[in-house]
Amino acid sequence: MDKFQVKGLLILAVLIVGVVFAVPSFMGSSELSEGYPGPKQKIRLGLDLQGGIHLVLQVVTEKAVESRMNSVLNDLKNEMINEKIHYSKAMVDTPETVQVSLRVSEEQDELDKLIQDKYQYLKYANKSSGPEGSTVVTYRISPQEAESIKKQAVEQALETIRNRVDQYGVSEPSIIPQGADRIVLQLPGVSDPERAKKIIGKTALLEFKLVDEGASSADAASGNVPAGDYVAYMKDSNQPVLLKQQAVLTGASLEDARVKIDQYNEPYISIAFNREGGRIFEQVTTENVGKQLAILLDGKVYSTPVIRDAISGGKAIIEGRFTMEEAKDLAVVLRAGSLPAPVTILEERTVGPSLGQDSIQKGIIACLVGGVLVIIFMLVYYKLSGLIANLALVFNVVLMVATMAAIGSVLTLPGLAGFVLTIGMAVDANVLVFERIREELRLGRTPKMAVEMGYKNAFSAIFDSNLTTVIAALVLIQFGTGPVRGFAMSLTIGLVWSMFTALVLCKWIQEWLVTYRNTDHVSI
């Protein structure tokens, strides 16, 4: 076997592998037979072809820092009381700073020492004089600590959203972080974007807080709030309720949440705490028999049941005049856990199923019509050589499909346009070669020489011109988003394979014709 034959076998091997990888994608929705020898994965369709929802979320990480600072502040207040540091006011000023107003300015040293010992991540920022001779000292959270809280918030948000999407039952979702605080979410086939957004965007912070029955809530609502308390409002009636600031339990202690139906056919949610949560719940209920316990979700009070007895077993219920769908969705978000910080939606793209279907059909029609026209054209213009170029074109498409299926790249609508464009541009390499061969023939060269010189002389033009297009496409891959990137991917893959089919496959066939078949002329 000579070198030429070996080369032919290698080309054949590439083509066979290509066909094997491409067949599943060409089968469409029909099933492959059991005994199919190759990999069964198909080209994945992008959201714009399948329908679905694409969301870019931003985690409001400042809120995570702020809520952390709030809990630090609560702790600090207790410590200051223990250490007998007299403060008139202590609050979280900006999300990253706490402010303490000291009655006696000399106590600042003690406060500094306390902060240094117990809260190393708080750094002294400045002080100023406040009203009534007080000294206002400001501490700022260290940038490293703030950064790590933010990072954690994003990671946890990612995890929570992943859980929620899993619970919601979306097939093949894609949830990936982007930049410092963004999450890109793709939910193929989701037909109700409103509902999906509610499930994903809900903070779902579940809290249990004791109601302060020592003071009137109406009085508190008009501004007279006892220390350690605050006013929250009922979900439906918007009535004020005076609550203890400290939550006795949060959703973090939940193990399960299920929708149940009560005797009036109204849905409610039955929740189960984990072991530690159950223990705390039992302790709290034992100590507060006869008092009211408020159940809050995202700051709204859902109900304020009276504790009749100590509750052991770690179970509780949430009522709130839910519709069935609301109750189901709430159970999903409770099971998946709360978001560490709220999220806002920066970008949303919804593609209805009719548009996706329409786009695929039209894209394929454009592909077919364009392809057929180019094939006819090449055949008429270049005869047998045109036929060879057409063969190369068909294999070009096959190899493109095979590559995209193999590397798991996603086919978007602009990607389909990339296919069409590749069909138009792929024949360029053939045209360049064939024009050269014609020129060489006109100079009176033998067919064998003409073919050889044609390929040789056309090479630099083909290489340079394809590379420039690939450079533009690579820039698109780097900068583009979703669909546009898909276009650049398919264009790049197509052009690389067109070099192979035009310069290797076609060359081999034409050389075989002029060398082994000893044809005395080239049909071109």
One residue of 427, 503, 506, 513 binding other proteins per CB under 8 A: 427
- If one asks whether residue 102 binds other proteins (CB under 8 A), the answer comes out as no
Stretch that binds other proteins, among 70-78, 150-158, 473-481, 507-515 (CB under 8 A): 473-481
Which residue number, 13 or 467, has a Cβ lying nearer to other proteins? 467
Q: How far is the CB of 190 from other proteins (least distance, A)?
A: 12
Helices 353-406 and 413-442: crossing angle, nearest 10°?
A: 50
- If one asks whether residue 308 binds other proteins (CB under 8 A), the answer comes out as no
Residue 298, token pair as written in the block: 């995202």
**Phi-psi region for residue 98, left (φ > 0), alpha (ψ -120 to 50) or beta?**
beta
With vertex at residue 36, the alpha carbon angle to CA 30 and CA 41, rounded to the nearest 5 degrees, is: 65
Q: How far is the CB of 308 from other proteins (least distance, A)?
A: 41
Alpha helical stretches, state H, 84-142:
108-118
- If one asks whether residue 473 binds other proteins (CB under 8 A), the answer comes out as yes
- If one asks whether residue 21 binds other proteins (CB under 8 A), the answer comes out as no
- The whole-angstrom separation of Cα 49 and Cα 41 is 18
Q: How far is the CB of 451 from other proteins (least distance, A)?
A: 17
Map the footprint of other proteins across residues 382-401, applying CB under 8 A. none
CB burial of 498-515 (b: ≥16 within 10 Å; e: otherwise) equals bbbbbbbbbbbbbbebbe
319-323 contacts at long range (C-beta below 8 A, 24 or more positions apart): 319/266, 319/268, 320/235, 320/236, 320/268, 321/236, 321/266, 322/266, 322/267, 322/268, 322/269, 323/267
One residue of 162, 258, 438, 448 binding other proteins per CB under 8 A: 438
Residue 9, token pair as written in the block: 């076998």
Q: How far is the CB of 352 from other proteins (least distance, A)?
A: 5
- If one asks whether residue 90 binds other proteins (CB under 8 A), the answer comes out as no
45-64 mask for other proteins (x: CB under 8 A)?
---x-------x-x------
With vertex at residue 303, the alpha carbon angle to CA 302 and CA 306, rounded to the nearest 5 degrees, is: 160
Which residue number, 4 or 463, has a Cβ lying nearer to other proteins? 463
Residue 166, token pair as written in the block: 């899993």
Q: How far is the CB of 251 from other proteins (least distance, A)?
A: 24
Residue 514, token pair as written in the block: 């002029």
Q: Are strands 44-45 and 410-411 parallel, antiparallel or unpaired?
A: parallel
CA 368 to chain centre: 34
- If one asks whether residue 469 binds other proteins (CB under 8 A), the answer comes out as yes
- The whole-angstrom separation of Cα 244 and Cα 110 is 29
- If one asks whether residue 420 binds other proteins (CB under 8 A), the answer comes out as yes
Contact status, residue 385 vs residue 427, Cβ threshold 8 Å: no
Stretch that binds other proteins, among 149-157, 245-253, 266-274, 457-465 (CB under 8 A): 457-465
Size of the site for other proteins (CB under 8 A): 75
Is residue 115 classed exposed, middle or buried when 0-12, 13-18 and 19+ CB atoms within 10 A define those classes?
A: buried
- If one asks whether residue 417 binds other proteins (CB under 8 A), the answer comes out as yes
Contact status, residue 165 vs residue 185, Cβ threshold 8 Å: yes
Which residue number, 87 or 434, has a Cβ lying nearer to other proteins? 434
Which residue number, 92 or 375, has a Cβ lying nearer to other proteins? 375
- If one asks whether residue 180 binds other proteins (CB under 8 A), the answer comes out as no
Q: How far is the CB of 375 from other proteins (least distance, A)?
A: 10
327-346 mask for other proteins (x: CB under 8 A)?
-----------------xxx
Which residue number, 252 or 472, has a Cβ lying nearer to other proteins? 472
- If one asks whether residue 476 binds other proteins (CB under 8 A), the answer comes out as yes
Which residues, at least 6 apart from 156, have a Cβ–Cβ distance to it below 8 Å? 339, 340
- If one asks whether residue 9 binds other proteins (CB under 8 A), the answer comes out as no
Q: How far is the CB of 454 from other proteins (least distance, A)?
A: 12
- If one asks whether residue 494 binds other proteins (CB under 8 A), the answer comes out as no
Stretch that binds other proteins, among 33-41, 84-92, 225-233, 471-479 (CB under 8 A): 471-479
- CA-based nearest residue to 273, from 315, 309, 307: 315
Map the footprint of other proteins across residues 344-383, applying CB under 8 A. 344-352, 354-355, 358-359, 361-363, 365-367, 369-371, 373-374, 377-378, 380-381
What is the three-class DSSP state of 46? coil
